[in-house]
Amino acid sequence: MDYLKTDEEQGEALKRWLAQNGLGLVVAIGVGVGSVLGYQQWQQHQINQQSDAAGRYQELIELSAINFADPETASDYERLLTVADGLRQSHAGSNYAALGAGIVAAQAVERGDFDLAVSQLTYAETELELPELKIMTSLRLARLELELGEGDSALSRVQSLSTEFFQGSRSELEGDILVALDQPLKAREAYLEAQASLTKAGLNTAVVDLKLSALPEGS
């Protein structure tokens, strides 16, 4: 506002300024307050969403303790699938949904439902954000592929993984796959890498040692 010499001039100028900008000022104040309230509502919504996802995931953990190999637990298994599906639908793309898929996959394997296990692990592998969890899931999926006779796919998956995490487990699984593909020389190399990684990490190498000793002479 320009500098004005008299109170009358100042009053008239204020009236004109309010006439021109008053509505905008009210709107601006309203938007400002609305933004704060909107953020608070959004923040509360996020908290509610996280709480809901955590609750559903906790139920999956509790259900996973049930022995689903028992035919009498069929209704519990259906509940597991329903909760996991609801988690996935309501919280798509979240780590909770991806981890929930991993729980379903483990139980599906126990029941011999391998197609479901593969689809759940594939979803989890795609959606997980933490690299450690993603690699762990990829290893589980590759192990399942190996069990299903899909050695080439399993090998491709394992060899594409970063060596930043679980190097010992990764190399050991690679050795297992190579044995299944009748490539004992390469399997030995993988097992030796696993042995070295596990030793460096201070972990037990007994299983890998046995696998090495079981390889054919000269391989």
Rounded to an integer, the average pLDDT of 79-90 is 92
Mark whether 123 and 160 lie in a shared domain: no
The answer to whether 107 and 64 have CB atoms below 8 angstroms apart is yes
Mark whether 65 and 112 lie in a shared domain: yes
d(CA 101, CA 121) in angstroms, rounded, equals 6
Q: What is the pLDDT of residues 8-35, one digit of tens each?
A: 544 454 455 445 444 444 444 454 555 4
Number of domains in the chain: 2
Of 74, 96, 129, which closes a domain?
Answer: 129
d(CA 53, CA 155) in angstroms, rounded, equals 34
Q: Which domain holds residue 197?
A: 151-219
Q: Taking the CA atoms of the chain, what radius of gyration do you get in angstroms? A: 30
Sign of CA dihedral 105, 110, 113, 115: positive
Rounded to an integer, the average pLDDT of 191-205 is 95
Residue 3 has pLDDT above 80, yes or no: no
Residue type, 143: R
Residue 33 located in a structural domain = no
Mark whether 157 and 218 lie in a shared domain: yes
Q: What is the reported pLDDT for 49?
A: 57
Mark whether 208 and 166 lie in a shared domain: yes
